[in-house]
Amino acid sequence: MTKYKSALGRGLDSLISMDDIQTNGSSAINEIEISQISPNPEQPRTTFSEEALEELASSIRELGIIQPLTLRSVGDNAYQIISGERRYRAAKMAGLHTVPAYIRTANDSELTEMALIENIQREDLNAIEIALTFKKLIEQYHLTQERLSERIGKKRATIANFLRLIRLPAEVQLGLRDKIVDMGHARALLSLDKPSLQLKLYNEIIKKGLSVRQVEALVKQWQEAEEKGDNPTVAPKRLKNSDYDMLKKHLSQAFKTKVQFSCSPSGKGKITFPFDNEAELEKLICIFDKLKESE
């Protein structure tokens, strides 16, 4: 067991590498009947894309399963998945009766940790699934964040950041789960103390497609407003189309070329300076040089 715990801290490759499966089990690949296999009830991953499973099933029909599953024995001719549930589901869809697998020995705690590490290192889990699994491991096995950090090979600060996500309103957590927003958005929202403000800004993110940097700026603006006793406002007003047209006109006059200007609803955009030949390019460069000299 000491050897196993040492490997656990080194990450997935030390746990389920095809070349290192001899500890507490066999390194031989076995053909196991699908009917004898059951999913891991502690599987951190809770969502599986049906479209992606169909694609994998199609590949399995053509090429078979390239990477064997990793299972543990839970009785006579009964096995539970340690890693490879996605391959298991796709194999069933493909109509396979058996799958290649390694058989390992693992207790419930090790099973959860191994499944977690595999999914994290393959980036299969969303942020909320990771956070909830960290929370479960800490509570169920009485671990500190530092101890969990040692066991799964992640920095304690990383674990703490994920656990903070559980403090967000349920609607925001669902947005993270469904990848409507990402970790950067969520961490910015956590800087606001009130759930009502977090939800208000979350809805602004969805409505206007705000970037993480824009959200961070709004959080700072709202915090300053609260300190002054003012009510935080929604996202700053965007320029009107007429403002954009005026800006484009001024730029075209200044650079003596028909400047192209585009902007998305979220405020992102680009300015393009077209030229027809090298002489026009030279003129543009000269203008930029003069602007630089005047700084």
Residues marked active site are found at: 85
Q: Is 89 exposed, middle or buried (0-12, 13-18, 19+ CB in 10 A)?
A: middle
Which tokens in the block code for residue 10? 């080194």
Task: Give the separation between CA 255 and CA 288, rounded to whole angstroms.
Answer: 9
